[in-house]
Structure 1
Amino acid sequence: MTSPGRPDDDLNLRHLLARATAVEQRVRRAVEARQRTDPDPEDAFRGLYLTDENIARLLNEEGARGFPDPVGEEGGAAGASDRVARDDGGAAGPSRLTALESDFGLTPLDTEILLIALVPDLDDRFEAFYGYLNDDVTRRRPSIGLALGLCGVSPADAVARGRLAAAAPLRDAGLLLAEDLDRPFLSRALRVPDRVTAHLLGDDTRDPRLADVVAPWASVAGVGDPAALARILAGGVPLVYLSEDQGGAGTALAASALERAGRRVLGVDLARLAADPVPADAVRALVREARLTGAGLVCAPLDAVSREHPSLLRLLTATPVPTVMVGRVPWDASWSTVPPLLVHAPRVEPSARGALWSEAYRRTGSGAVPAAVDPDHLLAPFLLTPEQVRGAALSAAQTARLDGGTLTPDHVRQGARAQNAAGLDRLARRIEPTVTWDDLVLPPDAHAQLRELTARARHRDRVLGEWAMRPGGGRGRGVSALFAGDSGTGKTMSAEVIAADLGLDLYTVDLATVIDKYVGETEKNLERIFTEAAGVNGVLLFDEADAIFGKRSDVKDAHDRYANVESAYLLQRMESFDGLAILATNLRANLDDAFTRRLDLVVDFPVPDPPQRLLLWNRCLGPTLPRAADLDLPFCAENFELAGGNIRSIAVTAAYLAAEAGGAVTMATLIHAVQREYQKLGRLTLASEFGPYLTMLS
């Protein structure tokens, strides 16, 4: 591995070439011995392979193509061992080859075999030499038997053969590959992977094999204290599991600890690793890369592989390098033979979140954050990891450039929303909010309660985190509320307004579609929704909540028992949820008292009174729809007891009728639209309601 105390590239190369020169002398002696003992040097078919003359010519090219004297003119080949010893240390520390021997536990025989397999990648003449010695021009790599012979070891030596077994350090660590495995053991070709060759020559470019699985986890200042974890890693603890909640800083804390322990960081995206065609090979390449560069592994998210790929976790936890796993699921002892150190990673708190976002924004080259933009306030409702905060800043900067270059609060919110996972879109309908507080028509108390709900969502980190106002019981930092009222009274629109105020997306889930007649399936459906929602910064609206959050009843048969299990499961899951959940129901009386106790707020949405209906009529007809002079909206507000949703539907119907007639909306048009809405609702058209406009009914 490489560290700041190691020699520069020039000294490292000189040492490697000195060792390769010693290998060249062995090869020369082997070629000369072969030539002396060749039984038929006049063979007419020698043109099918390398001739003695060709080999002699290649041997005589030392001055032009051979290994240069790694030290100077003194010494020559006979002094190679002395030069090796002199170049093997000093103030700069050991060379990469010597470090490789130490880090991978190689014996002197292992190192000599490695060098024998390496020299064709340093000088192409050795392909011809090995073809000649193998007596096969097509086999230009050293065979196992040839390598052992060049080392002066009998091919029948069991100990020496064992150093080239699949489980031996050279091959198990990926430093040496044995090819042609269908051949007898001694005739199998040996090859040094390109990544190992490049490392020994001083090149630390990452193995291209890892391009699809490596993640850019990096340390972040001011997020947690890595000192204790760094001390543990430096002390030799091989495996750590950092559990985290939504918005946790597990990967950043792990990276900081590894760097403080004197190691580099090699991040692993477990979701991508699981999708790799041959994940076991990818793990071997990751471990080799980490050992070559002196790095530790930071693997996340554990949730992506914990259920479907436990064997992959067992491979990763058995590595000989420090490994830190990061995830949200509880640790399963079957995932490793060595119990990990279990640590809980902190969240990125609001103050650190804003500072991290501002620093990432400045690094985009967009300049300072405008004074009108307050990242601390704007990002308070979002639970973001350090990587997501940086991504949000980059996204905001790009969107601002597209819109003219000036950063606005909307750009900050859009960038944060862009970090959401897409899994919840498959289970719920996403609504991008387009309404504001001015669009709501509600009684003052209901309006005030909605404002309080947004305040809870914005300040939950401080109240529930810093001030610890919800201790124990495994409860999360989520905020939950119940919206109760008749259909059309503004429950969904209010949820949309709250989402818009917080800068979040709104996800609506119809709980009536979640219920399954088969035992246990309802819980699975709900768990999938909550699991996906944990990766999303959004407002989760459960419509038709009474379908599953009904009162728990006495158990009279199996149906009652399983219905109670579903309700109990939901009660527990809602308490541990970290997001903002809103439940909407038309029948508040059907909800269980134990469930409503666990809610932060219960907001009642009454049918609007005449003044509120008048305001709704004006807003639903809008400022651009042509209106005739005979419109009598006060009459409509006073006489038609309708919810806001019904009034909006009537306004849309009237607009279509006016468009068809090619004119403005008249009172006759509006009365006709009201009649159609009454028909939908199954209500009678009474003269007491329509009054003087009854004659306009068709």
Structure 2
Amino acid sequence: MTPQEGTAPMTGREAADPNLRHLLARAAAVEQRIRHAVELRRSTDPDPDDDFRGLYLTDESITRLLDEEGARVFPAVPPLDGGGAASRLDALAREFALSPLDTEILLIALVPDLDDRFEAFYAYLNDDVTRRRPSIGLALGLCGAAPSDPGARARLAAGAPLRSGGLLLVEDLDRPFLSRALRVPDRVAAHLLGDDTPDPRLAELLAPWQAVRGVGDPVPLAGVLADGVPLAYLSEDQGGAGTALAASALSLAGREVLGLDLARLAEDPAPADAVRALVREARLTGAGLVCAPLDAVSRERPQLLRLLTATPVPTVLVGRAPWDASWSSVPPLLLHAPRVEPGARGELWTEAYESWSPSPLPPALAPDDLLAPFLLTPEQLTAAARSAAQTARLAGGELRADHVRRGARAQNAAGLDRLARRIEPTVTWDDLVLPPDTHTQLRELTARARHRDRVLGEWGMRPGGGRGRGVSALFAGDSGTGKTMSAEVIAADLGLDLYTVDLATVIDKYVGETEKNLERIFTEAAGVNGVLLFDEADAIFGKRSDVKDAHDRYANVESAYLLQRMESFDGLAILATNLRANLDDAFTRRLDLVIDFPVPDPTQRLLLWNRCLGPTLPRGTDLDLPFCAENFELAGGNIRSIAVTAAYLAAEAGGAVTMETVIHAIQREYQKLGRLTLASEFGPYLGLLDQGPSCT
């Protein structure tokens, strides 16, 4: 049979696709060598009629495959013209530094994936019907290399480009070297045929990080990546645009972007294999790597970072942790990624919303203002917009401000929920009963939280010193004066969740454990957009004392650590205490506001009585709330507790709340507080008291 006999005509796709045309032309040349080897084997076989040749792979079956009309699938055409675009095979050879011998070996291992007839040919040449892939010895022989040639054998060693790059697998490692089978991974075969679908091994690890307009200046980073800088690290704060900036820079440098979620990689059962598959994918597609968040693997899996930083493709790592020189043998380019500033948040959110929602954005809605308190990455802004669009559709299609805020809150990490109690705010400014000055200071605190990025970031009003853009305040006052409720109102006004942390539960008797507990809280808080409320702050923010023993020394260390950590915190932190005088002066100096919550006066107490009893609770005609407000010096929390107790008493009696039930509830509250029930306080209602040892 002549070389052209049996050649199948090219299909429409083969003729139109230069890459496929080139690959099949190269495969046709391999086919001729294989045919020649089969013919030579037949002509030199001392017993060609042996029925057991190749375990029942008979000579007649091989003849039928060789002579089958139209069986040829590789068109015998010349390679691409020199002026055309390079084929994928040529590009792969350049990227992986393959020699001509490497390329021929790769093609020999590839042809069974292009035409299953070659499985039978290889089984015949291997003299074993179960071995349907080319062996190392057979591949070298088809290339005209002597099996004993050390240079040729080295091309198939573990560190050679074919194997180290993941282009060729050597199987049957328990066999002698020359009889080991060669196989091309499915992803490599698919790529050579024109398929750009990522390796299924990476499906759960890839992240869709993309270039975003208006977030930082990617040109300098793009320039150095294009010039051959292999590694960069972008450190960022909460709401940073590191991944978007890295993707933009790689795109400008002429690279595709391949994003890796390091948090998912840390959970992978075979992360090293995943990294190798990722690097191969990047090299096949001419992509650069964007890997984040670095913090997910930096502490417990630093070996993964060493693998990633040793890749032969441009790699940009993104995270919040300081760079450790031990993570890489190549020093990275160290940069700081900017946040998505307030002016850009609304634009990014609106663009994402309009791509998801069939309904236009209401003209009266101002995403810039609504999103100002939130520190969100570009990816989180996109997800928040989609969440808001879905919530609006569920509610009937009209987008409201609450939908925007709820979508933004949905991007919070869940880690802080294990360390603090999350409260979804349900109260408003109208629910507060406070002195005018206290109310004004709370409004000022809300304004600070809303405009902190503009004032502290764009206007640079807090330069240097390692201080973040956080806002901190102290709420000082007796129990029940409205500190927690005020924090809830502020959170509601900003559209944030409230997380309450009882510092008394954080303190540990073992040295260093308190600092670890605090660090876990602040670390998790950096992943959420919320108001962090530290209750019982005086438990740890107490005055530092002279060191008289080891307890004093470590107590001072805890206070000093928390002072430093508060300064670097980027969120809104509120500390509540009943004992302001016990707080360290160095701590109060670092606060943005100190707000006192006094015990309410009679006018405020009357408002509290009416609000706590509510509009639906049935009231008796003898209820004398002005008397209660004037005579009983109680905080709002106590009045609320009394109102609930009175409601239960009324429910049990099957009637309305009367003065008798209120007096009885006040007496029970006094007993809880350890206060004496003085006759002068109860006046004409003294006879309604239950007489006991607490009455005087």
Residue 43 of structure 1 deviates from its aligned partner by: 2.3
1:525-604 pair list within 5 angstroms = 525-604=517-596
| Secondary structure of the corresponding residue to residue 433 of structure 1 | coil
Residue 41 of structure 1 deviates from its aligned partner by: 2.1
1:29-428 pair list within 5 angstroms = 29-46=36-53, 48-61=55-68, 63-71=69-77, 83-84=78-79, 87=80, 89-91=82-84, 93-428=85-420
Instruction: State how far apart, in whole Å, the 2-side matches of 1:631 and 1:9 are.
Output: 92
- Provide the residue aligned with 2:18 in structure 1: 11
| Secondary structure of the corresponding residue to residue 473 of structure 2 | strand
- Provide the residue aligned with 1:4 in structure 2: none
1:244/1:489 Cα in 2 relative to 1: closer, same or farther (>3 Å)? Answer: same
- Provide the residue aligned with 2:30 in structure 1: 23
Residue 47 of structure 1 deviates from its aligned partner by: 7.8
Could you tell me which amino acid in structure 2 is paired with residue 13 of structure 1? L
| Secondary structure of the corresponding residue to residue 60 of structure 2 | helix
Residue 36 of structure 1 deviates from its aligned partner by: 1.6
Maintained 8 Å contact 1:15/1:88: no
Instruction: State how far apart, in whole Å, the 2-side matches of 1:111 and 1:616 are.
Output: 84
Instruction: State how far apart, in whole Å, the 2-side matches of 1:155 and 1:146 are.
Output: 9
Could you tell me which amino acid in structure 1 is paired with residue 120 of structure 2? A
| Secondary structure of the corresponding residue to residue 560 of structure 2 | helix
Maintained 8 Å contact 1:9/1:202: no
Deviations 1:295-336 (A, max 9, x none): 000000001111010000000000000000000010000000
> Percent sequence identity over matched residues?
84
1:296/1:8 Cα in 2 relative to 1: closer, same or farther (>3 Å)? Answer: farther
Residue 9 of structure 1 deviates from its aligned partner by: 6.4
- Provide the residue aligned with 2:443 in structure 1: 451
CA RMSD of aligned residues (A): 1.1
Residue 155 of structure 1 deviates from its aligned partner by: 1.2
Could you tell me which amino acid in structure 1 is paired with residue 489 of structure 2? V
Instruction: State how far apart, in whole Å, the 1-side matches of 2:172 and 2:546 are.
Output: 72
Deviations 1:514-545 (A, max 9, x none): 01111111101000000000000000000010
Could you tell me which amino acid in structure 1 is paired with residue 35 of structure 2? R
1:419/1:595 Cα in 2 relative to 1: closer, same or farther (>3 Å)? Answer: same
Could you tell me which amino acid in structure 2 is paired with residue 361 of structure 1? Y
Maintained 8 Å contact 2:55/2:128: no
Maintained 8 Å contact 1:539/1:581: yes
Instruction: State how far apart, in whole Å, the 2-side matches of 1:166 and 1:588 are.
Output: 69
Maintained 8 Å contact 1:270/1:304: yes
Residue 88 of structure 1 deviates from its aligned partner by: 5.3
Deviations 1:459-478 (A, max 9, x none): 00110001100111010000
Deviations 1:243-296 (A, max 9, x none): 001000000000000000000000000000111110011001100110111100
Could you tell me which amino acid in structure 2 is paired with residue 532 of structure 1? E
* Structure 2, gaps ≥5 residues long: 1-13, 691-696
| Secondary structure of the corresponding residue to residue 216 of structure 2 | coil
Residue 365 of structure 1 deviates from its aligned partner by: 3.0
Maintained 8 Å contact 1:231/1:261: yes
| Secondary structure of the corresponding residue to residue 298 of structure 2 | coil
Instruction: State how far apart, in whole Å, the 2-side matches of 1:506 and 1:670 are.
Output: 32
Per the normalisation by structure 1, the TM-score is: 0.96
Deviations 1:15-56 (A, max 9, x none): 101110111111111111111222222324348331111111
Instruction: State how far apart, in whole Å, the 2-side matches of 1:528 and 1:690 are.
Output: 50
* Structure 1, gaps ≥5 residues long: 1-6, 72-82
Instruction: State how far apart, in whole Å, the 2-side matches of 1:359 and 1:297 are.
Output: 26
Matched, 1:647 2:639: yes
- Provide the residue aligned with 1:77 in structure 2: none
Instruction: State how far apart, in whole Å, the 2-side matches of 1:377 and 1:157 are.
Output: 73
Residue 149 of structure 1 deviates from its aligned partner by: 0.9
Instruction: State how far apart, in whole Å, the 2-side matches of 1:459 and 1:8 are.
Output: 62
| Secondary structure of the corresponding residue to residue 655 of structure 1 | helix
Instruction: State how far apart, in whole Å, the 2-side matches of 1:426 and 1:88 are.
Output: 64
Instruction: State how far apart, in whole Å, the 2-side matches of 1:374 and 1:469 are.
Output: 26
Could you tell me which amino acid in structure 2 is paired with residue 69 of structure 1? P
Could you tell me which amino acid in structure 2 is paired with residue 235 of structure 1? D
Deviations 1:193-221 (A, max 9, x none): 11111111111111111001000111100
| Secondary structure of the corresponding residue to residue 86 of structure 2 | coil
Maintained 8 Å contact 1:9/1:201: no
1:88/1:543 Cα in 2 relative to 1: closer, same or farther (>3 Å)? Answer: farther
Instruction: State how far apart, in whole Å, the 2-side matches of 1:202 and 1:8 are.
Output: 14
Residue 178 of structure 1 deviates from its aligned partner by: 0.8
Maintained 8 Å contact 2:474/2:575: yes
Residue 238 of structure 1 deviates from its aligned partner by: 0.1
Q: Which moved more, 1:658-667 or 1:615-624?
A: 658-667
Instruction: State how far apart, in whole Å, the 1-side matches of 2:450 and 2:179 are.
Output: 70
Q: Which moved more, 1:152-161 or 1:537-546?
A: 152-161
Maintained 8 Å contact 2:29/2:76: no
1:675/1:8 Cα in 2 relative to 1: closer, same or farther (>3 Å)? Answer: farther
Instruction: State how far apart, in whole Å, the 1-side matches of 2:297 and 2:220 are.
Output: 28
| Secondary structure of the corresponding residue to residue 534 of structure 2 | strand
| Secondary structure of the corresponding residue to residue 48 of structure 1 | coil
Residue 64 of structure 1 deviates from its aligned partner by: 1.5
- Provide the residue aligned with 2:469 in structure 1: 477
Instruction: State how far apart, in whole Å, the 2-side matches of 1:160 and 1:560 are.
Output: 73
- Provide the residue aligned with 1:696 in structure 2: 688
| Secondary structure of the corresponding residue to residue 634 of structure 2 | coil
Q: Which moved more, 1:151-160 or 1:298-307?
A: 151-160
Maintained 8 Å contact 2:534/2:574: yes
| Secondary structure of the corresponding residue to residue 584 of structure 1 | strand
Deviations 1:377-421 (A, max 9, x none): 000000000000000000000000001100000000000000000
- Provide the residue aligned with 1:74 in structure 2: none
| Secondary structure of the corresponding residue to residue 121 of structure 2 | helix
- Provide the residue aligned with 1:441 in structure 2: 433
| Secondary structure of the corresponding residue to residue 511 of structure 2 | coil
| Secondary structure of the corresponding residue to residue 305 of structure 1 | helix
Residue 70 of structure 1 deviates from its aligned partner by: 4.8
Instruction: State how far apart, in whole Å, the 1-side matches of 2:71 and 2:672 are.
Output: 93
Maintained 8 Å contact 1:283/1:316: yes
Instruction: State how far apart, in whole Å, the 1-side matches of 2:540 and 2:547 are.
Output: 16
Q: How many residues align?
A: 677
Instruction: State how far apart, in whole Å, the 2-side matches of 1:573 and 1:684 are.
Output: 44
| Secondary structure of the corresponding residue to residue 299 of structure 1 | strand
| Secondary structure of the corresponding residue to residue 290 of structure 2 | strand
- Provide the residue aligned with 1:78 in structure 2: none
| Secondary structure of the corresponding residue to residue 516 of structure 1 | coil
Maintained 8 Å contact 1:88/1:95: no
Instruction: State how far apart, in whole Å, the 1-side matches of 2:232 and 2:71 are.
Output: 50
Could you tell me which amino acid in structure 1 is paired with residue 688 of structure 2? M
Instruction: State how far apart, in whole Å, the 1-side matches of 2:680 and 2:399 are.
Output: 57
Instruction: State how far apart, in whole Å, the 2-side matches of 1:88 and 1:647 are.
Output: 90
